[in-house]
Structure formats: C-alpha cells, structure tokens
Structure 1
Amino acid sequence: MITVGFDKPLYILPFDHRGSFQKKMFGWDGELTDSQTDEIAAAKRVIYDAFRSAIRTGVPKEKAGILVDEQFGAAILQDAASEGYITCCPVEKSGQDEFDLEYGREFADHINAFTPTFCKVLVRYNPAGDAELNRCQATRLKKLSDYLHSERSRSKFMFELLVPAEKSQMDRLNGDRKKYDFELRPRLMAQAIQELQDAGVEPDVWKIEGLERRDDCRRIVGAAQRNGRDSVGCIILGRGEDDTKVREWLATAAAVPGFIGFAVGRTSFWGPLVDWRANQISRAQAVEEIAWRYREFVNIFETQKEAVPA
C-alpha cells in the first residue's frame, strides 16, 4: 500500500469559499465583472493579512496554514508559498452536490501551477444515499488520489467529508438535525471513510465536521488510520457555527490522538468582514479581530492537547 499521512499539528484558516462568498457576502449572482472579482480578492486579502498578523503575534508558523482558492486568491497562494507558509487549495467545482474537478482534465496543470502543500476536496457522501452517485464520486476521487500520491505531484491530499442527512434518516428523527448530528452522523462518517478507502481514495488528512463526544472522535480516527494508515491525520472544521460551539468542538477533538488541528473559517472572519464592508470598523480593525479569533482557536486546541496525559 502507498504511504499516506500527515501527523504534524495543522491549524488552517480557510477562506476558499467561492459561490457562497460571492452571493452571501456580496449579493452577486452569475458571471462577475473584473472589478467585482477584484473586490472579492481584496476582501480575501484582509483575511490573509490577518493570518500573517496572527503568526507575527504568536501562532507557530510551522503549524499554521491557509486554504484559499485559485479564482480569487491566486496572488495570495503565490505569496504564501514564497513566505514558506502551509498552503491548501481546493480542486472541486464550487457549490455542487456531486463532486467534480474544477478544471476537468486540466486539473494537474492547475495543481502544478501553485504546488500547494495540500490539495483539498469537499465531498458530500452519505453511505445510505444514492449508490450510483457515491460510486461515480469515488471513481473521480480515486483518479485525483492516485495522481497526488504519484511522482508527478508534490502536494498532499486533504479530504473534507460532509455527510448530509438523507430524507429517510431525518424522517426517522422527526426532522431533528441536532439528533442526527449526535446519533447518526458519527457512525455514517466512519462508514463513509471506510467505503472511500476501499474504493482506493487515500487522503493524508480528513477534514471532519465537529463531534460532540470524544468516543466519536476516536471512532473517526480509528477509521481514518485503519489497516496501517497510522500517520493519517484528522482536523475539525467549523461549519460556520457560532463561536461557542466551535470552541466545544475544538476542545473535544484536541483531546483525542489523531486529531492534529482544525480548519475554522467563517467563524473566524465573517463578522469582521461584514462590519468592515459596512464601514463600521476599519480594515486594520478587521485584520486585528480575525487574527485574534484565529489565535484563540489555536490556543484552545493547543491548551486542550497539552492537558491530555501522553
């Protein structure tokens, strides 16, 4: 079996949002003008400057990284690479329920143009969902996985797994989303990881929706690292939840070996960016607030990890 994995601390500030960022932050639909594209890129530069500020004020550079898209963040990816930061770049088409590559057959050229530390995919996969859809997605993902683990690539593979509830599952729970997250999703996530691995999809890092219980975190790590995949890491994503919930998720995951970090984006930057665009705070204040939030999440994860006996 190929050697896969990444087991060093990994604290990601993600701002690779594209369609949702364009629509919800700016209110724009459809094809963008050059000036609109530049305006979105400028907003993402605020987040990047906050990341750099956080490193200057205490976040360990070797543990910190950004996740940003080529469409609005090409210059940021290039600058971050030149500065020696960990970089992650998405390769999936934005806003689709079914995974497909953003640049089709040319995906390798776009990866090689930036050579990010990680190529990231976002995939919606419920083991109880459409079997043919799952099979088609797994086939495409194996192609990408094989490429990233070949001699042609210097990038590692990050897999963001979302397990949206099927209607039948929600019906059994009377539409209770919290109950789904607590009772069903952890088991389904572990099953999805195993099915994808069995289909030849081999991420180095799994990017996982937040979990309420340490036992569920252990279940996920067990799936991710099974059959000799001992170095595969897991990180927690924020899912746009409020600050309190994200802090709980980070504290829970940090206490479990195999969870190496997090990727918390909207909870870090959304509020400050909205206030800046509404002229309620200055650009410098937005940078400072985003940097503070990101530093806080790093501190929570590191503190909880240190509190757990080796």
Structure 2
Amino acid sequence: MPDGSTAVADGGPPMAVLAFDHRERAFASVRSTGMTREEIGRSKELIFEAFEAAVESGLAGTRPGILIDEEFGAPIARRAVALGVPVSMPVERAFEPVFTFEYGGDFRRHLLEFRPAYAKALVHHRTTDAPEAKQTQLARLRELSEFLAEQSIGFMLELIVGQSDGGTGEIPTVDVEELRGSMTEMQNAGVRVDLWKVEGISSHDEAAQVAAQAVAANPQATCVVLGAGAPNDVVGHWLDVAAATPGFGGFAIGRSIWGGPVASWLDGRLAREQAIEQIASTYRSCALRYMGARVG
C-alpha cells in the first residue's frame, strides 16, 4: 500500500484530499455559462495554487493530497509528485454507465508513467443493476485491482449508489443498505480496495456499518467521505460523522470547496488572489472541522 493509506491504517493523520480530477462536463458544471478547455486548465492551476497556499498555512495535522486528472492536469500531477505531495489520479472514462477505462487497454502505461499514490475509479453500482452490466463492471474492476496490487499502487474506489429517502433532520445520507450490498458484491468478485470514497452519511451507527464492511476483504482498508458538491452545512455534518467514526480516514472533496470561487473568478467577480484565498480557506476549514470532530 502507498504511504497515504498506510499512515491512516496505522492510526496516522487523516487524509485531506483536494479533488479536482473532474473532466470537462463535470468541471464546467460549476459555472452557469460553462467553460472552455483553456478556462478549465487555468482553473485547475488556480486550484493547485490554493492547495499550496493552504498547506503552507497549515492543515491542522491532516495529510494533504490532491486528486487530479491527466487530461487537464498532467503538469500539475508531475509538479505535485516532485514536491512530495500524495497524488491520486482517475482511470475511469467520465459519464459511462458501466465502468470503462479512460485509455482502454493502455491504462497500465498511463498509470506507470505517473505512478500515483492511488488510482481512482468512479463507479455507479447498485445491487439491482442488470446482471450482465454488473458482471462486465466487476471484471474490469478486478483487472484493475490486480494490476494495482502488483505495482504497489493504492486503489481508491469512489462508489456511487445514491441517497436514501431520509436522513437525520434535513441532512441527506447515502443509501447505506445499498452501499454495503454493493461493497459486498465487489469484495465477493475479488475486487480489492484500499480506500473507499463514499457518499456522505448522516448517522454515526450507519457510518460504522460502512467502515466495518470496508475491512471485510482487506483489513487495511479505510474510508474517506466525498462532498458531492453539497452546501457547506451538509458537508460539515458529513465531516463530523466521518471524523468520529473509526475506520474513516479523512475526506476527498472538490466542488464544494472550489466551485463557487472558480466560477466567480472566471466571471470577473473575484480577483485571482481572492479566489485562491477563498479556496484555500474553505479547504483548510474542512481539515479543521474534521480534526475538531475526530475521536481518538
């Protein structure tokens, strides 16, 4: 396992991952008028500068890292690796109903070129999905997990199953029963995951159930919570729950941190330095909140 996962598994500092691996459609969605490819590239450079500013200011004892794509962020990934920043990179083709490798059979070469701490696969999966689609998806994920294990690259699986109808008060929560069932199907299919990136959970008891499922096939596995572009109060609650749950080792949040400032900067409502400051401040606030709610 890479250093980042080992640190968490051994009781080390939680991970504070700033995620901006979103490809064209998802990244541009934070701005009502969309973005050009050039604007996306410039925005990712701005986000990384905000990351560096936040790290320099201090992130409350968390372990900072980034999640960045090759298409728009290859120079950023190389720079981060040179600086000793744990880098995670996606392997999925965006917006495919069944997990598909971004670079097809060439995915191995791309991963070995960068050797990220983690390779991330975003997967939509429910136990009620069509059996043929699930079989195809699980076979591809098993192929990926076996290659990553051979290369000592961690496997981050972002598993999206959707939210349940109810939560604690007005706080949305993932469908925990479906999440655990989907995790079980993947584990039974031989997909070995080091880091489960999961949707927010509003209940401590349910978060503990998810954490227990994560280690069913890999005792060193841990979970991190994602942001889903949710408002600050919702993300804050999810951070509180994750931080207080053994088996969770941090967060990997993106648009909830940088979406607003990036759009405002591109629209001319924020100066570049102001946008950097806002992103760095929100990222740091997430780290502070996580550490403030942490138990043990």
TM-score norm. by structure 2 comes to 0.90
TM-superposed deviation, 1:62: 6.9
Counterparts of 1:247-258 in structure 2, within 5 Å, are: 247-258=236-247
In the TM superposition, structure 1's runs of 4+ consecutive aligned residues that sit over 3 Å from their partners are 22-29, 176-179, 181-184
Q: CA RMSD in A?
A: 2.1
Residue of structure 1 in register with 2:186 after alignment: 196
Local SS of the residue matching 2:175: helix
Instruction: Give the number of aligned pairs.
Output: 284
Q: Which string of whole-angstrom CA distances, capped at 9 and with x for unpartnered residues, describes residues 29-74 of structure 1?
A: 9xxxxxx433311110111000000000012687000001100000
Contact kept? 2:155, 2:194, Cα under 8 Å: yes
Give the one of 201, 222, 234 matched to 1:245. Answer: 234
Contact kept? 1:115, 1:154, Cα under 8 Å: no
Structure 1 unaligned regions, length at least 5? 30-35, 171-175
Contact kept? 1:62, 1:85, Cα under 8 Å: no
Local SS of the residue matching 1:139: helix
- Percent identity over the alignment? 33
- The yes-or-no answer on 1:302 pairing with 2:277 is no
Residue of structure 2 in register with 1:287 after alignment: 276
**Matched residue type, 1:10:** M
**Matched residue type, 1:197:** Q
Counterparts of 1:118-267 in structure 2, within 5 Å, are: 118-150=118-150, 153-164=151-162, 176=165, 185-227=175-217, 229-267=218-256
Contact kept? 1:61, 1:85, Cα under 8 Å: no
TM-superposed deviation, 1:303: 1.0
User: CA separation of 1:257/1:61 partners in 2, compared to 1, >3 Å: closer, same or farther?
Assistant: closer
Contact kept? 1:92, 1:101, Cα under 8 Å: yes
Mapped to 2, the partners of 1:14 and 1:252 lie a distance apart of: 20
Mapped to 1, the partners of 2:87 and 2:173 lie a distance apart of: 34
Local SS of the residue matching 2:135: helix
TM-superposed deviation, 1:142: 0.3
User: CA separation of 1:178/1:302 partners in 2, compared to 1, >3 Å: closer, same or farther?
Assistant: closer
Residue of structure 2 in register with 1:15 after alignment: 20
TM-superposed deviation, 1:26: 7.5
Q: Which string of whole-angstrom CA distances, capped at 9 and with x for unpartnered residues, describes residues 249-305 of structure 1?
A: 000110011100001111100000111111111000000000000000000111111
- The yes-or-no answer on 1:64 pairing with 2:69 is no
Contact kept? 1:62, 1:86, Cα under 8 Å: no
Contact kept? 1:47, 1:290, Cα under 8 Å: yes
Contact kept? 2:236, 2:286, Cα under 8 Å: yes
Mapped to 1, the partners of 2:83 and 2:61 lie a distance apart of: 10
Contact kept? 2:173, 2:201, Cα under 8 Å: no
Mapped to 1, the partners of 2:233 and 2:172 lie a distance apart of: 17
Q: Which has the larger radius of gyration?
A: 1
User: CA separation of 1:41/1:215 partners in 2, compared to 1, >3 Å: closer, same or farther?
Assistant: same
Contact kept? 1:121, 1:160, Cα under 8 Å: yes
Local SS of the residue matching 1:251: helix
**Matched residue type, 1:203:** V
TM-score norm. by structure 1 comes to 0.86
Structure 2 unaligned regions, length at least 5? none
User: CA separation of 1:22/1:116 partners in 2, compared to 1, >3 Å: closer, same or farther?
Assistant: same
Contact kept? 1:125, 1:164, Cα under 8 Å: no
Counterparts of 1:41-60 in structure 2, within 5 Å, are: 41-59=41-59
Residue of structure 2 in register with 1:102 after alignment: 102
Mapped to 1, the partners of 2:73 and 2:61 lie a distance apart of: 20
